[in-house]
Structure 1
Amino acid sequence: MQVNLVFLHPKHLKYALSGFLLLAHFSVAATGEERTANPVPDTPEWHAYIAKSNHWQTLDSETIAAEVSALSLTTAKSPEHAKEFGFDPKPADEWFKSAEGERVMAIILSYQTPSGGWSKRTDMTKNLRQKGEAFGVEKNYIPTFDNNSTTTQLQLLARAHSITHKKIYAQAFERGVQLILDAQYPNGGWPQNYPLVGGYHDHITYNDNLIKNLMELLRDISLGKNEFGFTSKKLRAKALASFNKGLECIKKTQVVTNGQRTIWGAQHDRISLASTKARNFEMTSLASAESASLLDLLMDVEKPDAELIEAVHAGAKWLDNNKIIGQRWSRNDVNLQPDPSASPIWARFYEIGTNKPIFGDRDSTVHYSIAEISEERRKGYGWYIGNGNKVLEKYRIWAEKYPLKN
């Protein structure tokens, strides 16, 4: 496990020591899979970042510990599990004024952590969080931005405030946005979980649209339109600065091979910015699904600079050059099946340098054929995707407006 304490200013030692112990605990509780091995730079901005993460981690942990102790419990009670959150993330406006809407919004507020975020896979529709109850079912990974967590709740809070004008929603919203701002690495990326928990969760995470979701929320806040009209000029300015910093990270992490820009990995090391692995079956690679989503985000940027324009053209070219034509796949298939009418698809992961499709297994082995991996992983993961098609359609229109200059 990486140790950051040696870089901290003495005034942060209280938070650092608590954070270190928590990180040690989380690393044991985590999967034991890929960890960042690169040391945190010895700079004031990284010192401050780690200290703030430790501060929030200590606050979250001590809050639960105090409640558990007061109730004479041995461990925190677990809330109910849900595939997502149990509620409709895009309800009609009338719902927020209804008794049911007020009830569910109160539950959502009760599950906001002291640090300002939310968990995933936790039902937020049945009961208010009780004292001594964990803030989510995956207690070692709370709060998180994974699986649309935190961004979904913040979007609901913004709508709730714009419709009901209740101050409590605005206050909770601002706390959550501040967590996102605090979570952004000095280089512009975001981890999967914040406060930091160690392991692959600390990597810059493009997987499952995590950073795309964060940046779209920040962009919308910066514009101050619709449900975000209540936000202050100060918060909008912070959101815009964070969004632009995120853009710089995306440009810097685009993988270059043989002097040519390609696409992105699903996650990148938070220090070296190189593509890296996460879970054992998610190997270091070029990731087509995440890259298509990033291109979609980049093409929405107003007044893109020359580097961003070059990045989009290069990424779209890579997708177009590596699409699989005349084949289809479902999770019950051992191999691709011929189908002349099928839309183009892409393998989820490609080997860097060769652009060959690769497939991973629980034992960290990497294969060039999906037939070689275990049945559990073959059927339990989306090894081929098709979302590059819409992105390439969007690119053709975008490229007319922003042609690549020699």
Structure 2
Amino acid sequence: MKFSQPLTAAFASLVLLAGCSGDSRAVETANPARTMQEYRALSEHFHALDQNALKREVQQSGLKRPLAAPAAKRFGFDAKLATGDAVFIASAEGRRIADVVLSFQTPSGGWSKRTDMGSAPRRPGQEFGKEKDYVPTFDNYATSVQFWVMVNACNATADKRYCDSALRALKLVILAQYPNGGWPQTFPLRGKYHDDITFNDDAIANLLNMVGAVARGDERLAFVPAALRRQAQASLQRGLQMLVDTQVIIDDRPTIWGAQHDAATLQPTSARAFEPVALATSESADLVLFLMAVDNPPPAVVRALEHAVEWFEQHKINGFRYERARYEYKELIADDDASPLWARFYDIDSDRPVFGDRNGEVYFELGQVSEERRAGYGWYTERPYKVLKEYAKWKNKHRP
């Protein structure tokens, strides 16, 4: 593949790194794309890197086709232990899990979702992930969780393999950021709604927390080279501006964010059939929680944060609780002691709760949605309540 001029030899030396070990000097020298033309070239090259590596393994192993990756609801290991417990990750079992996770890292530097990374290491010729369209991905906490596993293992064991793995993942995240500051759901790009700027399931909130931790000098990330830390700081600033730019304006007032936004227009868009164009409360709540953790937030970020909090205050539902089970659905139940609730989605035009179905239909009454979707999706959330509680503390610090 022929690259445009800005894709330097230093970048080429980075992306040609395969396997689990990497050259941190090459990692430091690569730069994020400045235009969408450069960005798509990065995506295509990383995609080819992953595909060609797997093809070589299949041929060398004498296989006719790649071996299927093992499936898991999440990742097949206790993420809380593996990402945050230094004693555990340094134990024999912890290092075994770290090695399995490491084996599933793609040559491009990321990881898949719904793939068992807790049982056995990936075999030569085995696919990197269970789902073709999500390898690698930032969806369902993929790549961000594995990054923190590698960080924990790096610090607990001083094993360079884990440190290099974390650096490659961080570099992928920085390179996967659109020039406008957003991130797609998957990188390399896969097309369709996967290419949207994706707040859904906290994909971008997780990535912002990654680059934010590096940018502010989190002691867990002391092994990150200075040049890469500077790139993370720039990434954070682009991400903050993107949040300001994508906050939905209704009647000249900023509100919250959609679950997905078009990567070109920055306008809210739809994803799966039952996820309509709408304001998304749960994802927006986690974005606001992130913004409240930013050191010395610029005025534009402060305004965005305060407008979002104001919107949450105006839309809270008091006096009800929401119960959901896999095969049983109940309407909101009256409960004067319940914490405030918010609908998962709000229609942008009418400002009313809105509910989608697998057939693409959108309703204003949850009872109109099919039984399968009523029971199989979380249509109400308490997440913004944490925002309101944390905002009181934040306001005392920033608006005394």
Residue 295 of structure 1, aligned match among 288, 308, 320 = 288
Aligned match of 2:220 = 227
* Residue 237 (structure 1) shift: 0.9
Q: Report which stretch shifted further, 192-201 or 320-329.
A: 320-329
Residue 382 (structure 2) pairs with residue 389 (structure 1) = no
* Residue 163 (structure 1) shift: 1.8
Residue 340 (structure 2) pairs with residue 344 (structure 1) = yes
Residue 382 of structure 1 aligns to a residue whose secondary structure is coil
Aligned match of 1:25 = none
Aligned match of 2:362 = 366
Aligned match of 2:272 = 279
Aligned match of 1:176 = 169
Aligned match of 2:19 = none
Distance 1:74 1:200 in 2: 32
Aligned match of 2:80 = 90
Aligned match of 1:249 = 242
Q: TM-score, normalised by structure 2?
A: 0.88
* Residue 225 (structure 1) shift: 2.9
Q: Is 1:157–1:170's contact at 8 Å kept on the other side of the alignment?
A: yes
* Residue 105 (structure 1) shift: 1.4
Structure 2 segments unaligned to the other structure (5+ residues) = 8-32
Aligned match of 1:50 = 40
Q: Is 2:135–2:186's contact at 8 Å kept on the other side of the alignment?
A: yes
Distance 2:163 2:3 in 1: 34
Count how many residue pairs are aligned between Structure 1 and Structure 2. Answer: 369
Residue 152 (structure 2) pairs with residue 196 (structure 1) = no
* Residue 159 (structure 1) shift: 1.6
* Residue 398 (structure 1) shift: 1.9
Distance 1:333 1:350 in 2: 20
Aligned match of 2:349 = 353
Residue 126 of structure 1, aligned match among 119, 125, 130 = 119
Q: Is 1:79–1:137's contact at 8 Å kept on the other side of the alignment?
A: yes
* Residue 88 (structure 1) shift: 2.0
Deviations 1:365-401 (A, max 9, x none): 1000000010010000000000111110111222334
Partner amino acid, structure 1, of 2:353: P
* Residue 334 (structure 1) shift: 4.6
Distance 1:242 1:340 in 2: 44
Structure 1 segments unaligned to the other structure (5+ residues) = 13-42
Partner amino acid, structure 2, of 1:218: V
Distance 1:224 1:10 in 2: 33
Residue 230 of structure 2 aligns to a residue whose secondary structure is helix
Residue 135 of structure 1 aligns to a residue whose secondary structure is coil
Residue 69 of structure 2, aligned match among 75, 79, 90 = 79
Distance 1:80 1:353 in 2: 44
Q: Is 2:95–2:153's contact at 8 Å kept on the other side of the alignment?
A: no
Partner amino acid, structure 2, of 1:266: A
Q: Aligned residues: percent identity?
A: 42
* Residue 223 (structure 1) shift: 2.8
- The verdict on how the C-alpha distance between 1:134 and 1:325 changes in structure 2, with shifts beyond 3 A counting, is same
Deviations 1:211-246 (A, max 9, x none): 111111111112333321111111111111101110
Q: Report which stretch shifted further, 388-397 or 190-199.
A: 388-397
Distance 2:181 2:218 in 1: 24
- The verdict on how the C-alpha distance between 1:96 and 1:339 changes in structure 2, with shifts beyond 3 A counting, is closer
Aligned match of 2:49 = 59
* Residue 58 (structure 1) shift: 0.6
Regions of 4+ moved over 6 Å: none
Q: Is 1:222–1:235's contact at 8 Å kept on the other side of the alignment?
A: no
Q: Is 1:224–1:230's contact at 8 Å kept on the other side of the alignment?
A: no
Q: Is 2:329–2:371's contact at 8 Å kept on the other side of the alignment?
A: no
Q: Is 1:53–1:196's contact at 8 Å kept on the other side of the alignment?
A: yes
Aligned match of 1:20 = none
* Residue 327 (structure 1) shift: 1.6
Q: Is 1:334–1:371's contact at 8 Å kept on the other side of the alignment?
A: no
Distance 1:347 1:97 in 2: 42
Deviations 1:239-291 (A, max 9, x none): 11101110100110000011011110011000000010000000000001111
Partner amino acid, structure 2, of 1:231: V
Residue 150 of structure 2, aligned match among 157, 161, 174 = 157
Q: Is 1:255–1:261's contact at 8 Å kept on the other side of the alignment?
A: yes
Aligned match of 1:22 = none
Deviations 1:341-364 (A, max 9, x none): 221100000000321000000111
Partner amino acid, structure 1, of 2:197: I
Residue 357 of structure 1 aligns to a residue whose secondary structure is coil
* Residue 185 (structure 1) shift: 0.2
Partner amino acid, structure 1, of 2:55: A
Distance 1:314 1:172 in 2: 39
Partner amino acid, structure 1, of 2:394: W
* Residue 8 (structure 1) shift: 8.0
Partner amino acid, structure 2, of 1:45: T
Deviations 1:305-327 (A, max 9, x none): 22111111110111110111112
Residue 301 (structure 2) pairs with residue 308 (structure 1) = yes
Q: Is 2:71–2:115's contact at 8 Å kept on the other side of the alignment?
A: yes
